[in-house]
């Protein structure tokens, strides 16, 4: 028999033994297998991403919380005790958007409108050095407002928004606007009992202007056009508009009885408030938006949902109009009858059309490169210097006039191109026939109608110089971010 192997010699253990190293820890000690250090893997593009950022500034809850702050600021303006802090309250919403632009970490997806809005903002920034900018403070505030309105395009797309967060954001806006429309109806039913503090800018227009904002109800009482949860007579019309539009979206997407009931209530109350406000431009815009939404349903072959939309909105329109006339009296009837007394273009020209005509016939030739900053709007009202008679304050009744003041012909071209690029992308989303659980096609249809309404409202008032303009870019950025997130997370579905 052969002698036994020494115990100090390690046993062979299969393939790979030749790659091992043996060491002796001490003189005379048996050999041991040395454990090699872990190999350092070179960085590759396929390496797993770093740990996800945590904290509120990286949380998807930031978007609904931001909407909550906007609502709180709007409500605060209605409290008379906060009147001395009115400027700070107005600045808070815009300032918060600027702060989030700086504080939210990461790099967001590039929205199709970004090149155009950045170009428009650049020409606006150059107008800070225009001779017409007589107040540097007002000019800086004007530039800050413009940047804060488009800021959601950048900071919202840095967040990993999903369809649930997007739907929650729409829900908050729907509930707030429905509440505003409901308060507007109560202001007509109970004159003086639900009246908020009126804007000082409106009061400064004089008694004759204030009387033009009143009407006599069926009971004989004189009331202002419903303000809702705003400080402007007729301001509840915006709440009614969004209550109907967003309510239509929830009507088509909801599968629970409570959600459908709230949607129908929102549509009915929104239409009733809109009739009582007697703001015909917003009513016509709503009709265009609903027609666009119906057109998307036809293109995608969703006939059953189209029938549901037409049935609910049609019956609510007839019922709400009869209700509005019963409450508002002959003033409401005559106001809406005037829509059919002339052609639509003649009705528009006799009201807001003259401002559009003056924009292109007078202001654009006068200010082809802009008129300087801080000469109109909130920036001029709170921070402007109007002591120089050679540079008087300006008035912008519609958004197109404001674009001329801010950047001349360049801004008039670039900003509308940003809107068209946004609508083109959303239209592609709305025309998708795939019916996934997220139903992006449906919300694409709603946001396309919403965007079409926003474009139409630029012919009625400075839409993109107010909080609703910020909400426009926030909703579009949230939809873009949610779709990008879903496409990345569920790439195996494609």
pLDDT tens, position by position, 409-460: 999 999 999 999 999 999 988 887 665 556 788 888 889 988 998 998 899 8
Q: Is the backbone of residue 106 left (phi > 0), alpha (psi -120 to 50) or beta? A: left
Nearest to 135 by CA among 406, 389, 388, 394: 388
Nearest to 381 by CA among 205, 229, 239, 214: 205
CA angle 450, 455, 459 (to 5 degrees): 135
What does DSSP assign to residue 420?
Answer: H
Which carries the bigger pLDDT value, residue 136 or residue 42?
Answer: 136
Q: Residue 118, CB half-sphere, CA atoms under 13 Å: how many?
A: 8
pLDDT at 346 over 60: yes
Local confidence band at 45 (pLDDT 50, 70, 90 cut-offs): very low
pLDDT at 403 over 90: yes
Residue 142: predicted pLDDT: 93
Residue 10: predicted pLDDT: 47
Task: Give the CA distances from residue 145 to residues 75, 148, 273, in Å, rounded to whole numbers and listed in that order.
Answer: 20, 5, 30
Residue 73: predicted pLDDT: 86
Whole-angstrom distance, CA of residue 240 vs CA of residue 188: 14
> Is the distance from CB of 23 to CB of 31 less than 8 angstroms?
yes
Whole-angstrom distance, CA of residue 477 vs CA of residue 151: 10
Whole-angstrom distance, CA of residue 340 vs CA of residue 415: 33
Whole-angstrom distance, CA of residue 477 vs CA of residue 161: 10
Query: What is the average per-residue pLDDT within 378-394?
Result: 85
Query: What is the average per-residue pLDDT within 188-194?
Result: 84
Whole-angstrom distance, CA of residue 311 vs CA of residue 473: 31
Partnered with residue 309 across adjacent β-strands are: none
Q: Which of 160-169, 326-335, 399-408 has the highest mean pLDDT?
A: 399-408
Partnered with residue 440 across adjacent β-strands are: none
pLDDT at 31 over 70: no
Tokens standing for 225? 């056009």
Strand 31-33 and strand 22-24: pairing? antiparallel
What element of type H or E holds 251? helix 236-253
What element of type H or E holds 49? none
Question: Any idea how long the chain is?
Answer: 494
Local confidence band at 48 (pLDDT 50, 70, 90 cut-offs): very low
Residue 201: predicted pLDDT: 67
Whole-angstrom distance, CA of residue 449 vs CA of residue 426: 10
Whole-angstrom distance, CA of residue 469 vs CA of residue 406: 16
Nearest to 430 by CA among 449, 444, 451, 448: 444
* 3: helix, strand or coil: coil
Query: What is the average per-residue pLDDT within 281-296?
Result: 88
Residue 494: predicted pLDDT: 43
Local confidence band at 349 (pLDDT 50, 70, 90 cut-offs): low
pLDDT at 491 over 70: no
Which contacts of 313-317 are long-range, i.e. CB under 8 A and separated by 24 or more positions?
313/244, 313/248, 313/267, 316/264, 316/267, 316/268, 316/271, 317/271
Tokens standing for 73? 């600021």
Burial of 17 (0-12, 13-18, 19+ CB in 10 A): exposed
What element of type H or E holds 222? strand 222-224
Alpha helices in 278-352 (DSSP H): 280-299, 303-328, 330-337, 344-348
Distance from the Cα of residue 289 to its chain's centroid = 16
pLDDT tens, position by position, 60-116: 889 999 999 988 888 887 877 777 777 788 888 899 999 999 999 888 888 999 999
Residue 49: predicted pLDDT: 44
Mean pLDDT for the chain? 83
> Is the distance from CB of 143 to CB of 375 less than 8 angstroms?
no
Nearest to 459 by CA among 417, 408, 410, 402: 402
Residue 272: predicted pLDDT: 94
* 84: helix, strand or coil: helix
Residue 16: predicted pLDDT: 47
Poorest-pLDDT segment among 10-19, 94-103, 327-336: 10-19
């Amino acid at each position: 028999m052969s002698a036994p192997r020494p115990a100090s010699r390690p046993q062979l253990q299969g393939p790979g033994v030749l790659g091992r190293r043996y060491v002796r820890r001490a003189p005379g000690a048996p050999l041991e297998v040395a454990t090699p250090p872990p190999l350092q893997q070179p960085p590759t593009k396929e390496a797993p991403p770093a740990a996800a950022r945590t904290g509120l500034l990286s949380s998807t809850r930031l978007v609904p919380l931001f909407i909550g702050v906007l609502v709180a600021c709007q409500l605060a303006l209605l409290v008379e005790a906060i009147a001395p802090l009115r400027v700070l309250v107005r600045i808070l919403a815009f300032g918060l958007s600027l702060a989030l632009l700086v504080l939210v970490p990461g790099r967001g997806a590039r929205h199709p409108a970004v090149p155009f809005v950045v170009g428009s903002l650049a020409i606006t920034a150059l107008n800070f050095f225009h001779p017409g900018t007589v107040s540097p403070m007002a000019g800086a505030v004007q530039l800050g407002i413009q940047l804060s309105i488009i800021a959601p395009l950048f900071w919202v797309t840095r967040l990993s928004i999903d369809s649930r967060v997007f739907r929650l954001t729409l829900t908050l806006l729907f509930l707030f606007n429905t509440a505003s429309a409901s308060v507007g109806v109560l202001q007509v039913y109970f004159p003086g009992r639900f009246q908020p503090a009126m804007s000082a800018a409106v009061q400064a227009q004089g008694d004759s202007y204030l009387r033009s904002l009143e009407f006599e109800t069926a009971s004989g009482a004189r009331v202002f056009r419903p303000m809702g949860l705003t400080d402007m007579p007729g301001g509840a019309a915006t709440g009614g508009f969004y209550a109907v539009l967003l309510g239509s979206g929830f009507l088509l997407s909801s599968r629970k009885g409570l959600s459908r009931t709230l949607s129908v209530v929102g549509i009915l109350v929104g239409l009733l408030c809109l009739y009582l406000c007697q703001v015909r431009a917003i009513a016509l815009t709503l009709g265009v938006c609903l027609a666009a939404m119906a057109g998307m349903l036809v293109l995608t072959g969703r006939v059953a949902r189209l029938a549901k939309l037409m049935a609910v909105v049609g019956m609510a329109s007839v019922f709400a109009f009869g209700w509005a006339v019963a409450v508002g009296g002959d003033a409401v009837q005559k106001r809406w009858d005037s829509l059919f007394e002339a052609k639509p273009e003649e009705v528009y020209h006799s009201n807001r059309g003259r401002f559009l005509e003056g924009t292109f016939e007078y202001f654009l030739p006068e200010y082809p490169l802009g008129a300087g900053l801080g000469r109109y709007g909130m920036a001029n009202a709170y921070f402007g210097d109007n002591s120089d008679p050679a540079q008087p304050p300006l008035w912008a009744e519609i958004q197109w006039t404001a674009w001329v003041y801010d950047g001349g012909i360049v801004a008039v071209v670039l900003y509308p191109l940003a809107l068209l690029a946004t609508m083109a992308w959303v239209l592609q989303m709305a025309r998708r026939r795939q019916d996934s659980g997220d139903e992006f096609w449906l919300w694409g249809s709603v946001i396309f109608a919403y965007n079409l309404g926003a474009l139409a409202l630029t012919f009625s008032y400075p839409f993109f110089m107010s909080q609703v303009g910020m909400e426009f870019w926030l909703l579009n950025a949230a939809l873009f971010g949610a779709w990008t997130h879903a496409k990345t997370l569920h790439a195996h579905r494609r």
